[in-house]
């Protein structure tokens, strides 16, 4: 099992772009797939430098970036602005656009149209949609139009209210069987990978063994072919209540507040800007300028002269 990022270095030692077929090879080679969300140019650059294999422009942007209460309100147009910024910061990971609530459910035509927008207007490599059932038809239609699709089962935040809230799924034999049917159906129509969210680890383990496509887990235990975490959660940028499955790898929010607080204190105390933050001017030029300001011709000007 390799711990280095996927993609062979090119001639200048640069990482080669990760491809969708490589994700399947990684599954087969038991090489864990690293996926993370990104929503703007700086987060894309971080994901790039850190060697992520897959970057999802997730609709979690609704909450962690745009300040909505859930993922439901975010629109396709809002997602496209974010996806375009991510594209500009990303070179090697597979980039996936997350179809937001309302952008694919109503018809296959709508689903294909919005998937195409992610590809044409934001340069995505693939799209993701949530749930089984009707979404399986949508996934099939998008794939037939030539666009790779990632599925998403278990806790599907866009429909959390009909699932009884943000809680683990597949906790009874019947519920686990429904998950199995959804995942197998998504695989059968050609999804190249499936996200498993908030599913008991033992259920995941059984299902992963039944699936040929990579399974990327978030709160689904260690048996998956890869893991995904929300950027703001893993870095501690978002300070709201985090789900049980989040592990924080940094406390960036506190560091940022400390930074802005120190800046504010420096400004208020007159410590910033210091001479090294200021531009200089040749003293003779400055004297000439002061002379100009105090000249009679300047004082004699009327508003119409300006």
Residue 195 in the binding site for ligand KIV (CB under 6 A): yes
From the list 53-61, 116-124, 162-170, 291-299, the region that binds ligand KIV by CB under 6 A is: 53-61
246 half-sphere exposure, CB direction, 13 A CA radius: 19
> Residue 174: is it exposed, middle or buried by C-beta count within 10 angstroms (0-12/13-18/19+)?
exposed
Provide the token pair at 280: 């200089």
Which residue number has the CB closest to ligand KIV? 58
96: nearest Cα among 193, 217, 231, 213: 193
Scanning residues 136 to 165, which ones bind ligand KIV (CB under 6 A)? 152
The span of 57-65, 175-183, 238-246, 250-258 binding ligand KIV (CB under 6 A) equals 57-65
Contacts of residue 47, Cβ cutoff 8 Å, sequence gap at least 6: 36, 38, 55, 90, 93, 231
Q: By CB under 6 A, name the one of 183, 230, 234, 235 that touches ligand KIV.
A: 230
Residue 251 a catalytic site member: no
Q: Is 60 in the site for ligand KIV (CB under 6 A)?
A: yes
Of 216, 227, 191, 220, the C-alpha closest to 204 is 220
Pick the catalytic residue from 31, 48, 182, 197: 197
Give the one residue of 48, 53, 59, 125 binding ligand KIV; rule: CB under 6 A. Answer: 59
For position 186 contacting ligand KIV by CB under 6 A, the verdict is no
- Told to check if 218 binds ligand KIV by CB under 6 A, we report yes
- Contacting residue, 27, 40, 43, 58, with ligand KIV by CB under 6 A: 58
Q: How far apart are CA 301 and CA 306, in angstroms?
A: 8
> In terms of DSSP H, where are the helices of 211-270?
231-235, 252-269
Query: Is residue 96 within the footprint of ligand KIV (CB under 6 A)?
Result: no
d(CA 205, CA 218): 13
Question: How many other C-beta atoms are found inside a 10 Å radius of the C-beta of residue 288?
Answer: 10
Nearest approach in angstroms of CB 43 to ligand KIV is 12
Q: How far is the CB of 58 from ligand KIV (least distance, A)?
A: 2
Verify binding: residue 234, ligand KIV, rule CB under 6 A.
no
For residue 128, what are the β-bridge partners?
A: 98, 150
Nearer to ligand KIV, 58 or 89 (CB): 58
Is residue 224 a contact point for ligand KIV (CB under 6 A)? no
Residues tagged active-site: 197
Q: Which residues bind ligand KIV (CB under 6 A)?
A: 37, 56, 58-60, 98, 152, 195, 218, 228, 230
């Amino acid at each position: 099992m390799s711990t280095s990022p996927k993609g062979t270095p090119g001639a200048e030692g640069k990482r080669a772009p990760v491809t969708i077929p490589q994700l399947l090879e990684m599954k087969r080679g038991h090489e864990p797939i690293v996926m993370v969300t990104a929503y703007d140019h700086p987060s894309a650059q971080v994901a790039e430098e850190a060697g992520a294999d897959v970057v999802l422009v997730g609709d979690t942007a609704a909450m962690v970036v745009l300040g909505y209460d859930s993922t439901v309100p975010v629109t396709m147009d809002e997602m496209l602005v974010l996806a375009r910024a991510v594209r500009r910061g990303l070179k090697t990971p597979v980039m996936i656009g997350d179809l937001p609530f309302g952008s694919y459910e109503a018809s296959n035509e709508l689903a294909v149209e919005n998937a195409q927008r992610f590809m044409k207007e934001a340069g995505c490599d693939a799209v993701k949609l949530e749930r089984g059932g009707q979404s399986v038809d949508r996934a099939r239609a998008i794939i037939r139009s030539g666009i790779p699709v990632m599925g998403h089962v278990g806790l599907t935040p866009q429909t959390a209210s009909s699932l009884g809230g943000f809680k683990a799924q597949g906790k009874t034999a019947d519920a686990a069987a429904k998950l199995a049917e959804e995942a197998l159906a998504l695989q059968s129509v050609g999804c190249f990978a499936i996200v498993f969210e908030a599913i008991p680890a033992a259920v995941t383990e059984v299902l992963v063994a039944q699936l040929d496509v990579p399974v990327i887990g978030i709160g689904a235990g260690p048996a998956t072919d890869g893991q995904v975490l929300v950027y703001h959660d893993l870095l501690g940028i978002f300070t709201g209540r985090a789900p049980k499955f989040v592990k924080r790898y940094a406390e960036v929010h506190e560091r940022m507040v400390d930074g802005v607080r120190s800046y504010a204190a420096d400004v208020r105390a007159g410590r910033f800007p210091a001479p090294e933050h200021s531009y200089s001017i040749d003293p003779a030029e400055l004297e000439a300028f002061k002379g100009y300001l105090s000249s009679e011709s300047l004082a004699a000007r009327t508003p119409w002269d300006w």
